[in-house]
Amino acid sequence: MDGAREKIIDAAGRVFAERGYKSATVRQICHAAEANVAAVNYYFGDKGQLYLETVKQAHRRLSDQFPLPLWPTDTSPAQKLKGFIGAMLARMIGGKATRWEQQLMLREVLHPTSACRELVEEYFRPQLELLLGIIGELRPAGTSAQRQRQMAFSIIGQCLFYRIAGDIVDMMTPDEDQDSFTIEQLSEHITVFSLAAISGPSQIDGRANTARRSATTAVSETRLANGSY
């Protein structure tokens, strides 16, 4: 990559990560990059295109630093799931040299901009399809596509939690247990937890239906007692 262009992207990444797309200005980015507005216009055209390229670069760097494992053909689907979860956790909470990249990607997930659609199609959707393929090897026969997609998003959500609420987790965890939240240990936990859910969706559905019926009965009894009917 051109040195001047990369310097602008690094500066833009820090500014966008700290301030967000709307609050960040090209002037601030140029000051941080020790560049002029003409250079931004030359390489990127405008602020919107600079932001899009910065987000893409953030994702590329995280993917390069924490790549998905290359699985041999005889790798079990459970091992694939753990490898996928481990890579996702590493991209979200691992490393010291990727802080603005992680922060910027989190901003884009929580507060999507016009760049999000391209990011989803180019990067996120292929990863979701990979995860769905792993789940497809694990799920009981007859599991609907909708259920498999819910499973995939639940797995992603467990990983994302430790990025969003990592500081809160630290505050609520006793000092003696702080070492229990390494990427390896979290990968193991989320994998085991998810495998249990994937293997028995019919049982989960049954328990959910029972819970719904109990809740409905409780509401009806309360209304009768209060004379609401």
**pLDDT at residue 16, as a whole number:** 96
How confident is residue 114, by pLDDT bands cut at 50, 70 and 90? confident
Q: Where are the chain's structural domains?
A: 68-225
pLDDT digits (tens, 9 = 90+) for 3-57: 899 999 999 999 999 999 999 999 999 999 999 999 999 999 999 999 999 999 9
Distance CA 37, CA 31 (A): 9
Percent of the chain with pLDDT over 90: 62
Q: Please work out, in degrees rounded to the nearest 5, the angle formed at the alpha carbon of residue 105 by the alpha carbons of 103 and 106.
A: 65
State mean pLDDT over 153-179. 90
pLDDT at 35: 94
Q: Binning pLDDT at 50, 70 and 90, where does residue 219 land?
A: very low
Higher pLDDT among residues 222 and 24, named by residue? 24
**pLDDT exceeds 90 at position 220:** no
The pTM is what?
0.78
pLDDT digits (tens, 9 = 90+) for 200-217: 755 445 444 544 455 455
C-alpha angle 151/144/87, rounded to 5°?
30
Average pLDDT of the segment spanning 110-115: 86
Give the architecture (CATH level 2) of 68-225.
Orthogonal Bundle (1.10)
What value does the mean pLDDT of the chain take? 86
- Is the separation of the CB atoms in 159 and 88 below 8 Å? yes
Give CA separation, 100 vs 17, 97, 150, 226, in Å.
6, 8, 30, 56
pLDDT band at 195 (very low <50, low <70, confident <90, very high): very high
Question: Could you tell me the pLDDT band of residue 98, with boundaries at 50, 70 and 90?
Answer: low
pLDDT at 157 over 70: yes
Whether the pLDDT of residue 229 is over 90: the answer is no
